[in-house]
Amino acid sequence: MEKKIIAVFFTRRGMNYVNGVIKNLNRGNTEVCAEYIQKAVGGDLFEIVPDREYSKDYMTCTEEAKEELRQKEQVPVKQYLENLEDYDVIFLGYPNWWGTYPMAVDTFLKHYNLDGKTIHPFCTNEGSGMGGSVRWIREAAPGATVSSGLPIHGAEAAQSENRVAKWAKSLI
């Protein structure tokens, strides 16, 4: 039986920290990598969109994210997938914010019963790798099988298609 695959991602467009400088990105690094996964292994794409606006200023946004994490806030999301239970494999992408995923990702995961699902995390970062995000995913989805994940240096996201595709294909 063929596995049903989805790449679920949270991304930040606009001002981002890239190799020590702030750059404006039309497409977020995590979005770019999620599209590489879909191109490599097929399946669907779904973007986790918080039901709030973060500051357009990168430094202010990081402070907002830091406070959400400190409070372990369940950040509301605009919509959920009605049929996530239909998928066998979930590639879960996000930027590493303060050593883990953005709190909207936590809200999204905790909305579902993910028992029996396989989750392959991938995260964009500027040097902190996966941080503690894999542990957080395992806590939010205790019945899922969660792989160790793929960290992608955000500044290299646009040039990472071969690496990301090879990783994704190796898991299917």
Is the pLDDT at 15 greater than 80, yes or no?
A: yes
Query: Dihedral of CA 153/129/56/44: which sign?
Result: positive
CATH code: domain of residue 157: 3.40.50.360
- Give me the number of domains the chain comprises: 1
Per-residue pLDDT band at 34 (split at 50, 70, 90):
very high
Per-residue pLDDT band at 19 (split at 50, 70, 90):
confident
Is the pLDDT at 1 greater than 80, yes or no?
A: no
- CA-CA distance, 137 to 157, in Å (whole number)? 22
Residue 145's pLDDT is 98
- CA-CA distance, 111 to 99, in Å (whole number)? 22
Residue 64's pLDDT is 96
Three-state DSSP string of 71-124? HCCCCCECCCCCCHHHCCEEEEEEECECCECCHHHHHHHHCCCCCCCEEEEEEE
What's the token pair of residue 101? 């995923």
pLDDT 10s digits, 116-163: 999 999 999 998 999 999 999 999 999 999 999 999 999 999 999 999
Is the pLDDT at 18 greater than 90, yes or no?
A: no
pLDDT 10s digits, 70-124: 999 999 999 999 999 999 999 999 999 999 999 999 999 999 999 999 999 999 9
Domain that holds residue 66: 5-171
